[in-house]
Amino acid sequence: MGKSDGLYIQMLGDYALSLDGAQVSLGKNAGAKFLGFLQMLWLAGDSGLSREEVHEALFQNVEFASLTNSMNNLVYQSRKQLALAKLQNAVSIDRRKDRYYWKALVPTSTDLQEFLDAADKAADDEDSLMAALSLYPGYLLPGTRGIQWIDEKREEIRRIWYGLVSSLSAIYRDKQDSTSLIRLHSQAAELDMRGTGRTEADLIMALLHAGDRKEALRQYNKALRFYRVHEKGNIPEPLEECAAHLSGDDLEENPLALKKQLLDVMSTDVAEAPERANGAFYCNYPSFIDTIRLLRRNLIREKKPATLMIVALLDYEGKPIRMKKKQLMYSAILEEAVRSVLRIGDSFTQNGPVEFLVLLPGADEENAAMIFDRIQRRLKEKAGTNASLSYRMLALSTFEGPLPFN
């Protein structure tokens, strides 16, 4: 059965419904409880859902004594929305002994089942594995993060997908096909962002085995920055394990290898982006913290000023920016402002979606305040009055306590 016949439910990478080839919309609120309930019903299939499962997933803040009314209202709203979408003749919601089931009244198919069928049939050959992987465009129902019942299903499907990736990877390694191996892990890492870090680590190791250390370093820094910004600094263990390989600890020690690594480090940043050769140096977060620690040791020996500045973006009302789209847009503007205003010996890193850490060797607090004013003016040139900044400063030459972050 194709997408143009009966009801087709898309759940991988995105969520969509179509009936006989025509797109169907179930309300305008993607976070509505009735939609989460329907999605859970479709995933549960013949097993159905108990009242307790629905309560735990969708009504955590509702007292259990009120659950009956909440469930009755949820089923009513779900049926109402199905009718408004003209799906009442395609899907019905049944209740049997405090379990809820969806019942297909027309031929129904899902992209999830297509993927699972292909994964089940895939053998240890390149063609069948590639065919199955082509049916997985991304996470299961990505818009439902936080609904634990679906989260667990999502991880279960992700493990099946990653098993296929690992099987195909083994074939490419046996064939010593580095090009295909890197392409496979590049695609996997793009699909699995915010995962366990395993797919990014797989890509980094594939690049190292292919001899492309420069690209491996670039991918490592890209992944670290992503997790620093989007995952509250929680760096997955597989990425931390990559550090030893990237530092060369596992490579044969000889003068030529060491010289090549040194040249790679010296050329990486300028080769990646020539326009960034001037101005402040952007570090990934772990490197930035190590830089501060080294500087503090040097300050014991040489009493020179040095200031750490924490710069945060605010909206026009002076409140933290919450909207993801605005965070991404204004943080990019702020990064450019910091880079261009600071000196070539200064460094900075991103400490959160809208916060940057700036290290100013040789600058006391008075000079740091002047530098902040320049950053603020540069930001205003690009963002107008829609964004402003706040800052805190720490004089590293006199500060003796622990750093105010991990």
Q: Indicate which CATH number applies to the domain containing 78.
A: 1.10.10.10
What pLDDT band is residue 283 in, cutting at 50, 70 and 90? confident
Q: What is the mean pLDDT of residues 196-202?
A: 90
Claim to verify: residue 116 and residue 103 sit in the same structural domain: no
Let me know whether 385 and 353 are in one domain: yes
Query: Which has more pLDDT, 157 or 52?
Result: 157
Confidence at residue 241, expressed as pLDDT on a 0 to 100 scale: 81
- In terms of average pLDDT, the best of 140-154, 174-188, 303-317, 375-389 is 174-188
Q: Given the DSSP bridges, would you call strands 355-361 and 306-315 parallel, antiparallel or unpaired? A: antiparallel
Domain hosting residue 99, numbered range? 7-109
| DSSP string across 98-113 | TEEEEEESS-EEEHHH
| Cβ–Cβ under 8 Å, residues 136 and 191 | yes
- With respect to residue 203, please indicate whether it lies within any of the assigned structural domains: yes
**Average of pLDDT values for 120-141?**
93
Residue 117: count of CB within 10 angstroms of its CB? 12
Structural domain contains residue 380: yes
Which whole number is the average pLDDT over 137-158?
91
Q: Quick one: average pLDDT of 38-61?
A: 89
Q: What is the pLDDT of residue 107?
A: 93
Assess whether 116 and 238 both reside in one domain.
yes
Give domain status of residue 215, yes or no. yes
Query: Is there a single domain that holds both residue 99 and residue 123?
Result: no
Q: How confident is the model at residue 330 (pLDDT cuts 50, 70, 90)?
A: confident
What pLDDT shows up at residue 60?
A: 74
154 & 68 share domain = no
> Same domain, yes or no, for 117 and 104?
no
Question: Which of residues 209 and 316 earns the better pLDDT score?
Answer: 209
The reply to whether 219 and 97 lie within a common domain is: no
- Count helices and strands (H / E) in the chain: 14, 12
- Report the domain count for the chain: 3
Residue 50: its H or E element: strand 49-50
Residue 305 lies in a domain: yes
**198 found inside a domain:** yes
Residue 2 lies in a domain: no
φ and ψ at 315, to 5 degrees? -85, -175
Domain at 306, CATH number: 3.30.70.270
Note whether residue 387 is domain-resident.
Answer: yes
pLDDT above 80: residue 156: yes
Question: How many CA atoms does the CB half-sphere of 385 hold within 13 Å?
Answer: 1
Mark which of 109, 135, 159 sits at the end of a domain.
Answer: 109
Structure tokens at 236: 């997955």
Tokens of residue 59, six digits:
């009504």
Q: Give start and end residues of each alpha helix (H) in 65-147.
A: 67-84, 111-121, 126-133
Query: What pLDDT shows up at residue 271?
Result: 42
Region 365-376 average pLDDT: 90
Assess whether pLDDT exceeds 60 at residue 114: yes
Average pLDDT of the chain? 83
Average pLDDT on 258-287 reads 56
Asked whether residue 40 falls in the same domain as residue 183, the answer is no
Domain annotation covers residue 402 = no
Query: What is d(CA 301, CA 292) in angstroms, rounded to the nearest whole number?
Result: 15
What are phi and psi for residue 252, nearest 5 degrees?
A: -65, 130
Write out pLDDT tens, residues 70-90: 888 999 999 999 999 999 899
Please indicate, yes or no, whether residues 206 and 292 belong to a single structural domain of this protein.
no
Residue among 94, 91, 97, 11 at smallest CA distance from 52: 97
Residue 172 in this model has a pLDDT that exceeds 90: yes
User: 64: pLDDT confidence band, cut at 50, 70 and 90?
Assistant: low
Q: Give the pLDDT of residue 258.
A: 43
Residue after which a domain boundary falls, among 51, 76, 109:
109
At 235, the pLDDT band (50, 70, 90 cuts) reads confident
> Does residue 372 share a domain with residue 287?
yes
With 50 as the cut, is the pLDDT of residue 273 above it?
Answer: no
Please indicate, yes or no, whether the overall pTM of this predicted structure exceeds 0.85. Answer: no
Report the CATH number at residue 149: 1.25.40
- Edge-first strand listing for the sheet containing 387-395: 281-282, 347-352, 355-361, 306-315, 387-395
246 in the same domain as 148: yes
Give yes or no: residues 81 and 152 share one domain. Answer: no
Average pLDDT over residues 382-397: 84
Q: Which residue has the higher pLDDT, 65 or 350?
A: 350
Q: Write the single-letter amino acid at 381.
A: E
Report the distance separating Cα 326 and Cα 106, nearest Å: 43
- The answer to whether the CB of 178 falls within 8 A of the CB of 209 is yes
